[in-house]
């Protein structure tokens, strides 16, 4: 038995998210599993580091599967990239420890949310940025981001109101970078709740437009109430940038 680890990138625009679903074939996991099964001639249980939502992109999704097939990593890489749709690619294939699990072994993830702050659309990047026409004040957004960093109960920033598991997460850093009209928010943490990054982004955007103050972040965290946080930012601006492991 072998454990194969994949590094995957995809444009999520036309997909219903990462996870396979019974009612649609338009998922990243589903597309990749079918190609692997056709190549290796066996049933594949492909495990991803986490689920990305419909319309969300990835530059560094990690996944793994176990197989008894003898195909080399280079053969797997070449085959899947030949038969996958043009908006999905595997950038690396390698052998992993048999115990390795892409989700359970992850220690850190980084997401990037891209905002186009201009009243003129970015035609060429329109599928990968969220256009905000109203001028944004970056410094209050940075102050608010600083207050959100650290270990907190992020239940107010979770879309799953019925979640029974712990909603405590450590948000190591929120970094704002501005280049011309583009403002990017870089979120790094040990794990993220359902729609957490998009809700954090929507809340920070309200700070940037003056609808909230940075100090509101602590009140929202303490409330543990999703209704107290801002709206969920659209999917197209979000990208899973990288997943880090102990090895």
Domains of the chain: 2-96 (3.30.70.580), 112-245 (3.30.70.660)
53 counts as catalytic:
yes
> In a structure prediction context, what are the per-residue pLDDT tens digits for the chain, which is 247 residues long?
999 999 999 999 999 999 998 888 899 999 999 999 999 999 999 999 999 999 999 999 999 999 999 999 999 999 999 999 999 999 999 999 999 999 999 999 999 999 999 999 999 999 999 999 999 999 999 999 999 999 999 999 999 877 889 999 999 999 999 999 999 999 999 999 999 999 999 999 999 999 999 999 999 999 999 999 999 999 999 999 999 998 6
Hey, is 194 helix, strand or coil? coil
- Token look-up 């319309």 returns 55
Sign of CA dihedral 10, 14, 16, 22: negative
Contacts of 127 (CB under 8 A, 6+ apart): 11, 13, 236
Q: What is the pTM of this model?
A: 0.96
**Which pLDDT does position 46 carry in this prediction?**
97
How far apart are the C-alpha atoms of 236 and 231, rounded to whole Å?
Answer: 15
Strands 168-179 and 2-10: what pairing? unpaired
Hey, is 10 helix, strand or coil? strand
CB 77 within 8 A of CB 60: no
**Which pLDDT does position 149 carry in this prediction?**
98
11, 45, 53, 247: the active-site residue: 53
């Amino acid at each position: 038995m072998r454990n194969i680890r994949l590094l995957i990138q995809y444009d999520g625009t036309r997909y219903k998210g990462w996870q396979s679903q019974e009612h649609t074939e338009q998922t990243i996991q589903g597309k990749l599993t079918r190609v692997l099964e056709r190549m290796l001639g066996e049933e594949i249980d492909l495990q991803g580091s986490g689920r990305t939502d419909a319309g969300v992109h990835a530059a560094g999704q990690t996944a793994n599967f176990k197989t008894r097939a003898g195909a080399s990593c280079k053969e797997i890489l070449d085959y899947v990239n030949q038969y996958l749709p043009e908006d999905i690619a595997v950038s690396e294939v390698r052998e992993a420890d048999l115990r390795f699990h892409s989700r359970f072994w992850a220690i850190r993830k980084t997401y990037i949310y891209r905002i186009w702050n201009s009243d003129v659309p970015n035609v060429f990047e329109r599928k990968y940025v969220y256009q905000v026409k109203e001028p944004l004040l970056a410094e209050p957004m940075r102050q608010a981001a600083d207050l959100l960093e650290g270990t907190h109960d992020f239940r107010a920033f979770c879309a799953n109101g019925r979640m029974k598991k712990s909603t405590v997460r450590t948000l190591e850093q929120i970094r704002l970078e501005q280049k011309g009209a583009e403002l990017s928010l870089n979120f790094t943490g040990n794990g993220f709740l359902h729609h957490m990054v998009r809700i954090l982004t929507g809340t920070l955007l309200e700070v940037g437009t003056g609808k909230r103050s940075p100090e509101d972040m602590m009140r929202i965290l303490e409330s543990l109430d999703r209704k107290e946080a801002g709206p969920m930012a659209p999917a197209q601006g979000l990208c899973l940038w990288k997943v880090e492991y102990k090895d």
